[in-house]
Amino acid sequence: MEPIRKEELDDQACGSMAPKSKPCPRPKPGEAAGGCSFDGAQITLLPIMDAAHLVHGPVACAGNSWESRGSLSSGPSLSQYGFATDLGNNDIIFGGEKKLRDSIDYIAGRFTPPAIFVYSTCVTALIGEDMDAVCKEASDRLGIPIVPVNSPGFVGSKNLGNRLAGDALLQYVIGTGEPEQETPLGVNLIGEYNIAGEMWDIEKLMNQAGITLLSRITGDARYKEITWAHRAKANMVVCSRALLGLAKQMESKYGIPYFEGSFYGAKETTYSLRQMAFLLNDREMERRVDRLTEREENRLAHDLRPYRKILKGKKAVLYTGGVKSWSVISALKELGIQVVGVGTNKSSDEDVQRIADRVGDDTEYIPEGGASRIIKTVRERKADIMIAGGRNMYVAMKEQIPFVDINQERHKAYAGYEGLLRLAKELVDSMVNPIWKLASSPAPWDKEGSYDR
Amino acid sequence: MSKERIDIPDYSTLFTEERYVQQRENKKQFEAPCSDEAKAEALAYSKSAEYLEKNFERKAVVINPHKACQPLGSVMAALGFEKTLPFVHGSQGCNSYFRSHLSRHFKEPTPAVSSSMTEDAAVFGGMSNMIDGLQNAVALYKPEMVAVCTTCMAEVIGDDLSAFIGNARQKGAIAEDFPVTFANTPSFIGSHITGYDAMIKNILSQLFDRSGQTAAPGTGEEGEKLNVLLGFEPYTGNFAEIRKILNAFDTKYTILGDHSGNYDSPANGEYEYYYGGTKLADVPKAANALGSLVLQKYTLKKTQEYISGTWKQPISSLSTPLGVKATDKLLEAISQLTGLPVPESLKEERGRVVDAYTDSHPYLHGKRVALAGDPDLLLGLIGFCLEVGIEPVHILCSNGDVEFDGKKWKEEVEALLATSPYGSEATVYVGKDLWHLRSLLINDPVDLAIGSSHVKFAAKDAGVPLVRVGFPIFDRHHMHRNPIIGYQGALNLLTLIVNIVLEQLDNNPSGLVDLVR
């Protein structure tokens, strides 16, 4: 395995603004830390739906993680299979390269995938498996791309894993194919994973504006379409923290301009579509986008009315990772919700700057996790709702705090104009549900007042 | 609110709309290198008998594994003890998987921390991570005990837990007398049940050793108590059920490893980190108990060896007591260990369950089923099936071959099957995965599959309804709250299975529906 140039990667992943003294936040021993680089790499690449994804390591690295993501597919499901080389004690001692070779051969023979992604794990990295060589040899022999993804869990955080997956795409996939016809208005979406089908809503909007979605990197992607991503006229980085480096390198290598944007909230969505039109440098396109966004915003404003009535003035604590920390704030603000606390745990300096641009001075920044810290903010700021991911959800339930799940396991799509409507409905539904009144009222025989908050 | 409600379709209906369907069609051009015909052909082949054989010859790759790893079991074991913080020594992502895995099954938070080892630790070892980690964790989460288990990374580089913890004490990161139990739990050996066993055994032995006590079974105040070990128990309801049974006997007991508090805590306005669990002080005392009752004998292999070897206690070993006969055995075992007679209330309950059996048996008789799960659970399920006239056909145990003697387990399963004509059709597959099961379900069809949520896709491919039993169950709510052991559990299992059969009858293609079953 090539040595991983951590400093350089950290620098790219956190953005050029990250001061040297403060690289990517390092995991702190003794806390309930988030996912690892292996996890991050898988999140980025698993949405390539027709490819096979083989985990080279003990069976549980696959066993603990497969079937756990809400990244939807419109067709092929091969990416949902949990493939693992299942290294045991003997393989740790004698090496697992033969097993890897055989596994690749079996998958290629049986499932005829367009490509196989092979993930290293802590174990294979530590025992020094030469995965790159095995993949190269198998690739030459079988005639399909076998892509090594060198992102073992211990190298760092989930974000670093996203970044390493981006490296693998750049090194092995992008630029290896050509689209059938030239697409002068082709745009790539980078760092959009089609959670709960969000990408389909975005794609629909782009189609309506006449913008071609050239390559999805990687929500509901097919391997082939990523091979020609270098022919795009612009890149939009949807999750900036994860794959900004990929966009930067595509800019320097292929001259494709990029911008960072979001589809959470009407304003962000409109901005993103306009920005695409601007980078495509097509007057007619810009006019079309203006007409579309105006129409959609008007319609949304009308549809949102009943929800805004309820949501106006409500307070929320937002605890999520990376780009969502700032992009969701815009969406919430449009709904009339005040964000009184926001997690900055996994945010880069640029993200934090964007948060600051969007919230007022009295919003509390929650720099590190721990359920108690989040709950404390909810209590002190008298928040009406908590918006976070699955691992914090059940704590909110215990504390009787209305909750909306925003992370990758969720089942609702919140992107685009329709997505904002869905988010509004979800927030209202969660807040007005009668269980909260029931939960916080004392039982009839209980003479004490309602639970002290 | 209802007046102003706008219809917002969820993805279950939204994406069936024409515009999305069209979008989908357009994307097919990218689906290299397969045409629709080639795909259909491959799918047909994957369902053929020829492929079944090829699939079983597969050596290299595991497809859709049906097991989790050792430290996941250790985390669950640690949560069974009072104010104990599970501490996963190794790279951080593993811990994150364990927490979400367990949380999504129980729908409850999982407090657990990691020492977050990175590349530096790979080179220099994980000692400083352990020392800092213990210090931070104890300061932040204020546990009364920390239970350390290892991930692959710490195992591969060969971290010495005992020495590291000793150093942490020496450096003052944690107090000299602060209990830290630890177990080596490499994920490349065994599975979640092996890890559960390792941690339980070590918590018992290490807390006992610390206490300086000597084991004297059947003496003192504890001499009237029974130790009860449930094993890797995904059902919080089973803890309540075993308590109900023991209370009916009016015997005293200590449950060693009770995570039901943590995974069934009330929503009363304030989240605490620690709920319930076996009292730490009760652990060394358990060495003087009258005997130990083990409800997952294959899971708790090392723990039993320890209890009989060091504590020198009589042990009654059972597999998950599912169904009437297995519960009978459970009651006999309690009776034998305590000398108390089987209480009337349970006898009556038994009668009611037998009555329920008789009501339902016409719909279950001769139903062919496939079973997948952990070794002890499978033994229980097979027993249940045989006693109600269900025929097990495919029995698949992904983790039945590792660590403990898989042969012995298989022999016991086969002996159990041989006790009944309903067992004559069954084949036992040890160490196979869910892709194997898919082939079996398609080529030798059954009426029902019984197993965890992960069995869903194989069952769906084969058009077989799935009865969700075991771990993990992600896609249904509250299954774990209802017991499946004891007479009540037998009734619950019966209800679950027979109603799926009845629902199938209602959905039959003839369209005939009646109201008189």
CB neighbours (10 Å) of residue A74? 21
Q: Which amino acid type is present at position B126?
A: G
Tell me which residue in A34, A222, A421 faces B30 most closely, judged by beta carbons. A222
Q: Which residue in B146, B152, B388, B501 is the catalytic one?
A: B152
Q: A131-190, pLDDT tens digit by residue?
A: 999 999 999 999 999 999 999 999 988 888 999 999 999 999 999 999 988 888 999 999
Q: What are the angstrom distances between the C-alpha of A218 and each of A26, A161, A196, A239, B257?
A: 26, 15, 14, 11, 44
Whether B402 is catalytic: no
pLDDT at residue A440 in the model: 81
The reported pLDDT for the residue numbered B308 is: 96
Give the pLDDT score at A12. Answer: 44
DSSP string, A284-336: HHHHHHHHHHHHHHHHHHHHHHHHHHHHTT-EEEEE--TTHHHHHHHHHHHTT
Q: Which regions of chain B carry the CATH code 3.40.50.1980? A: 70-211, 221-338, 345-507
Residue B1's pLDDT is 46
Mean per-residue pLDDT over chain A, rounded: 86
Q: Going residue by residue through chain B (517 aa), what tens digit of pLDDT does each one get?
A: 444 555 666 666 767 778 777 777 777 777 655 677 877 887 888 888 899 999 999 988 999 999 999 999 999 999 999 999 999 999 888 998 999 899 989 999 999 999 999 888 888 999 999 999 999 999 999 999 999 999 999 999 999 999 999 999 999 999 999 999 999 999 999 999 999 999 999 999 999 999 999 999 999 889 999 999 999 999 999 999 999 999 999 999 999 999 999 999 988 888 888 999 999 999 999 999 999 999 999 999 999 999 999 999 999 999 999 999 999 999 999 999 999 999 999 999 999 999 999 999 999 999 999 999 999 999 999 999 999 999 999 999 988 765 455 688 999 999 999 999 999 999 999 999 999 999 999 999 999 999 999 999 999 999 999 999 999 999 999 999 999 999 999 999 999 999 999 999 888 888 777 777 7
Q: What is the DSSP-derived secondary structure letter of residue A393? A: H
**B1, A306: Cβ pair inside 8 Å?**
yes
Is the pLDDT at A368 greater than 80? The verdict is no
Chain A positions in Cβ-Cβ contact with residue B108 (cut-off 8 Å): 394
- Read off the pTM: 0.91
- The two tokens of residue B378 are 């499978």
B151 touches chain A (CB under 8 A): yes
Is there a contact between A63 and B66 if contact means CB atoms under 8 Å apart? yes
Q: What are phi and psi of A338, to 5 degrees?
A: -95, 125
Q: Which residues of B touch A81 (CB under 8 A)?
A: 63-64, 435
- CB proximity under 8 Å: A 150-189 to B: 152-158, 180
**Inter-chain CB proximity B96 and A67 less than 8 Å:** no
pLDDT top residue among A68 and A332: A332
pLDDT value of position B4: 52
Q: Which amino acid is at B319?
A: S
Comparing alpha-carbon positions, the chain B residue that sits nearest to A300 is: B6
Q: Which residue on chain B is closest to A197 by alpha carbon? A: B11
Chain B neighbours among A 121-150 (CB < 8 Å)?
121-123, 125-127
Dmax of chain B from CA atoms? 78
Q: Could you give the CA distance from residue B28 to residue B34 in angstroms, rounded to a whole number?
A: 10
Q: Which of A38, A74, A156 sits opposite B27 (nearest CB)?
A: A74
When scoring B53, B58, B118 by the number of chain A Cβ atoms within 10 A, the one with the most, hence best to mutate, is: B118
With H, G, I as helix, E, B as strand and everything else as coil, classify residue B368.
strand
Task: Name the CATH superfamily housing domain B70-211.
Answer: Nitrogenase molybdenum iron protein domain (3.40.50.1980)
Q: Is the pLDDT of residue A11 over 50?
A: no
Nearest CB to A89 within list B60, B189, B267 = B189
- What is the model's pLDDT at position B399? 87
Bridge partners (DSSP) listed for residue B180 = B146
Q: Which residues of A touch B107 (CB under 8 A)?
A: 394, 397
Which tokens is A373 given? 């810290």
CATH number of B345-507: 3.40.50.1980
Chain A residues within an 8 Å CB radius of B127: none
A107 touches chain B (CB under 8 A): yes
Chain A environment of B474 (Cβ under 8 Å)? 67
As a whole number, mean pLDDT of residues A191-196 equals 91
Nearest to A153 among B33, B94, B474 (CB): B94
Kindly provide the residue ranges of all beta strands, DSSP E only, lying in B318-458, ordered along the sequence.
368-372, 391-397, 427-430, 448-451
Of the candidates A29, A82, A105, the beta carbon closest to that of B115 is on A29
Nearest residue to B258 via CA among B203, B213, B215, B190? B203
CA distance B188 to A89: 6
| Interchain contact, B188 vs A31, CB within 8 Å | no
Question: What's residue B90's pLDDT?
Answer: 92
pLDDT-above-70 percentage for chain A: 89
Instruction: Report ipTM for this prediction.
Output: 0.89
Residue of A nearest to B62 (CA): A84
Cβ burial A380-409 (10 Å sphere, 16+ → b, else e): ebebbbbbbbbbbbbbbbbbbbbbbbbbbb
φ, ψ of residue B262 to 5 degrees: the values are: -65, -35
Measured CA to CA, the distance from residue B150 to residue B148 in angstroms comes to 7
Reading the block at residue A418, the tokens are 């329709």
If pLDDT is split at 50, 70 and 90, which confidence band does A101 have?
very high
Domains of chain A by range and CATH? 37-173 (3.40.50.1980), 186-299 (3.40.50.12380), 305-435 (3.40.50.12380)
**Residue A242: per-residue pLDDT:** 72
Residue among B14, B28, B42 minimizing CB distance to A112: B42
In angstroms, the separation between the Cα of residue B223 and the nearest Cα of chain A is 39
User: Above pLDDT 90, what percent of chain A?
Assistant: 58
Q: Which pLDDT value is given to residue A18?
A: 36
- CATH topology classification for B221-338: Rossmann fold (3.40.50)
CA distance A326 to A351: 7
* Three-state helix/strand/coil letters over B304-321: HHHHHHCCCCCEEECCCC
| Chain A 7-66, residues with CB within 8 Å of chain B CB atoms | 26-39, 50, 54, 57-66
B156 has catalytic annotation: yes
Q: Which residues of A touch B186 (CB under 8 A)?
A: 89
In angstroms, how far is the first alpha carbon of chain B from the final one? Answer: 41
Going by their DSSP bridges, the two strands A385-388 and A315-319 should be labelled as parallel
